Amino acid sequence: MPKITARLALAACSVLALGLTPFAAQAKPAKAAAADQASDIPAKWEAPRPGFDYDLREVMIPMRDGVKLHTIIAIPKGAKGLPMLMERTPYDADSFLKRNIPHLRDAVWSANREWVDDGYIFVYQDIRGKYGSQGPYIMTRPPRGPMNDSKTDDTTDSYDTVDWLVKNLPESNGKVGLIGSSYDGWTVTMALLGPHPAVKAAAPESPMIDGWMGDDWFHYGAFRQINLDYFTEQSSKTGKGEAVPRSSYDDYQAFLDAGTAGAWATTNGFKQLPWWNRLSSHPAYDSFWQDQALDKQVVAKPSTVPTLWLQGLWDQEDMYGAIHSYEALKAAGHDNNHIVMGPWYHSQVNRSAESLGALKWPGDTAADFRRDTLIPFFDTYLKDRAPATPQPSAMIYNPAEKHWDSFAQWPGVPQSGLTPFYLQASNGLATQPSSGADSYVSDPAKPVPFEPLPARFADHPSWATWLVQDQRFVSTRPDVLSYQTPVLDHEVRLEGAPFADLFARTTGSDVDFVVKIIDVYPPTYAEQPELGGYQLPISLDIFRGRYRGGFDKPAAVPAGQVQEYKFRLPTVNYTVKPGHRIMVQIQSSLFPLYDRNPQTYVPNIFFAKPEDFQKATITLEHGPDGQSAVLLPVVKP
């Protein structure tokens, strides 16, 4: 054993003399031991935030039924008499503002920097049941009425939130502007069904308005399979859920192997999701969809709030809502509504927009719009700052001429003034009727892809720009028919919504039609050589043939009998230049974006059986049995 020093030995003897062991002598007092158990984390930590140029508040705002909604508020330091810009979202209010960033301009999304410069208070709120907010989540919760027998909806939640804000933010001037894109555009539109008096301006951007007719879920009855991932991400948990796992890199093959959207959903556990069960049991445009279509609701309950409806000309997700809401309100005489359509993909208005796919613009069309149009529109009503030029009824970009056009009314051409371009023999397209017919075989086992393979829904750059994809990648397929004019010796200006008007017969008992209107560039194009011969779709959509007699009245197609299929295509403001051609492409699938039509009539395509999927020969008539055409909104010189 080591030797013990004299000092240590003496200390040990003293301890023993007191009847204590050396170990006990080292024990701490009981009070100190208890203190050791207290948490090192204070009950509430308040960071000093030195150098921050804004105050950040996080509150739970009570609704009329007691449910509290999680809300983030950013107030510039020293603010006095500033208006409030509010966005209500299912996409996590916390994600709209970076934490621990001293300068508000750096903390907000890039599209909000101009708003910071102009002087606004920012309000972001999680809607019911999502992220930090209480209550049950219901996908695009319908307005109170036949589909919602409760006392609350996104209209009342917006009203109650605004009411709390004007009473609790003395830094504000008591005025609120509403903004938001996609689902957040839905919440803006819902707020307009019964707005708080403090709401002075609104901008629904690419809003989800009618999910069956032409926004996210369906287009004219054809189901958009890309949203299956959205369903799990959005409704499998309160926060962000996961996309459906893939066993294949190529979604084209993965969905082909699954068979139907219903089979895919069942395999991946979707029967646990109430939203999927509701949607899949309503494949037709019945009251389930009609009663929550907001373009009808905003006319039934019009607001006096000045509203700027925004949409991209190539919006791959919500192409329908803004323009149809605007048109419905204008037709009902509500002149406080305006439409803006830019050369953008979905929500690109909130990003940089110098280009779209292969198309290039002079400058950042989105940033310029936000600075020169959007913020001045809000300032007019929230800051009493009249713009130099009043906002026109319609402001729509002309992608061919690369500039904005303003219109006192829109559309510039009524439907009665549409010009037919008839399908011709030898794949021609002309304003005079022709004679004859053309056929193709549509095989559900080999559907036409919506983009070059491999198709990957998770590839956002590809997904965002597929609507401007060069269509030469399918133009030589035998199940795609192409018709084009001779080379134009004059410009053809199009303003409004085209229509497809097809007369066709099929050997099956159901059919889909995809119609594309295309600007065919000259074989060489000096300004941008890669656009030589480019087939640029300027308007396209899909129509499910069983709804030819009414969207709420599906019916089998009589085999071998000519039927008319007439449907509206997306709005255009476009000039087809001399040296170009106008082309129309027609096909019967656009996969895997849209589910396959089995071409055998079944009550619910979601749950079609493998044996229901059959080849069909489809014949387009352009003679005595029917003059198939596209009806174009040509502006007469």
The answer to whether 406 touches 373, Cβ cutoff 8 Å, is no
* Angle (nearest 5°) at CA 278 between 297 and 240: 90
What local confidence, expressed as pLDDT, does residue 388 receive?
A: 75
The residue that leads in pLDDT, 559 or 28, is 559
Q: Is the pLDDT of residue 25 over 50?
A: no
The residue that leads in pLDDT, 224 or 2, is 224
The answer to whether 595 touches 220, Cβ cutoff 8 Å, is no
pLDDT digits (tens, 9 = 90+) for 331-380: 999 999 999 999 999 999 999 999 999 999 999 999 999 999 999 999 99
Q: Is the pLDDT of residue 31 over 90?
A: no
Q: Is the pLDDT of residue 7 over 70?
A: no
The pLDDT of 13-20, averaged and rounded, is 42
Residue 53: which pLDDT band, with cuts at 50, 70 and 90? very high
pLDDT digits (tens, 9 = 90+) for 481-539: 999 999 999 999 999 999 999 999 999 999 999 999 999 999 999 999 999 999 999 99
The residue that leads in pLDDT, 417 or 318, is 318
pLDDT digits (tens, 9 = 90+) for 62-109: 999 999 999 999 999 999 999 999 999 999 999 999 989 999 999 999
For residues 583 and 574, give the distance between their C-alpha atoms in angstroms, rounded to a whole number: 14
Residue 416: which pLDDT band, with cuts at 50, 70 and 90? low
What local confidence, expressed as pLDDT, does residue 15 receive?
A: 39
Give the ranges where 172-221 is alpha helix by DSSP (H): 183-191
The pLDDT of 610-626, averaged and rounded, is 97
pLDDT digits (tens, 9 = 90+) for 568-596: 999 999 999 999 999 999 999 999 999 99
pLDDT digits (tens, 9 = 90+) for 125-167: 999 999 999 999 999 999 999 999 999 999 999 999 999 999 9
| CA nearest neighbour of 572 among 527, 525, 521, 536 | 536
Residue 455: which pLDDT band, with cuts at 50, 70 and 90? very high
Q: Is the pLDDT of residue 28 over 60?
A: no
Handedness of CA 319, 321, 325, 331 (dihedral sign): positive
> What totals of helices (H) and strands (E) does the chain contain, helices first?
17, 28
Residue 440: which pLDDT band, with cuts at 50, 70 and 90? very high
The residue that leads in pLDDT, 600 or 20, is 600
108, 166, 323, 349 from 346: Cα distances, Å: 20, 32, 14, 8
- Average pLDDT along the chain: 94
Residue 411: which pLDDT band, with cuts at 50, 70 and 90? confident
Q: Is the pLDDT of residue 458 over 70?
A: yes
pLDDT digits (tens, 9 = 90+) for 210-252: 999 999 999 999 999 999 999 999 999 999 999 999 989 999 9
User: Is the link from the previous residue into 592 a cis peptide, with omega within 30 of 0?
Assistant: yes
For residues 324 and 214, give the distance between their C-alpha atoms in angstroms, rounded to a whole number: 10
What local confidence, expressed as pLDDT, does residue 9 receive?
A: 43
What local confidence, expressed as pLDDT, does residue 461 receive?
A: 95
Give the ranges where 135-282 is alpha helix by DSSP (H): 154-168, 183-191, 227-235, 251-258, 261-267, 274-280
2, 3, 15, 183, 531 from 21: Cα distances, Å: 20, 20, 7, 72, 92
- With a pLDDT cut of 70, the percent of the chain lying above it is 94
The answer to whether 559 touches 508, Cβ cutoff 8 Å, is yes
Q: Is the pLDDT of residue 16 over 60?
A: no
What are the structural domains of the chain?
A: 6-33 (no CATH), 60-212+289-407 (3.40.50.1820), 220-288 (1.10.3020.10), 418-632 (2.60.120.260)
What local confidence, expressed as pLDDT, does residue 20 receive?
A: 45
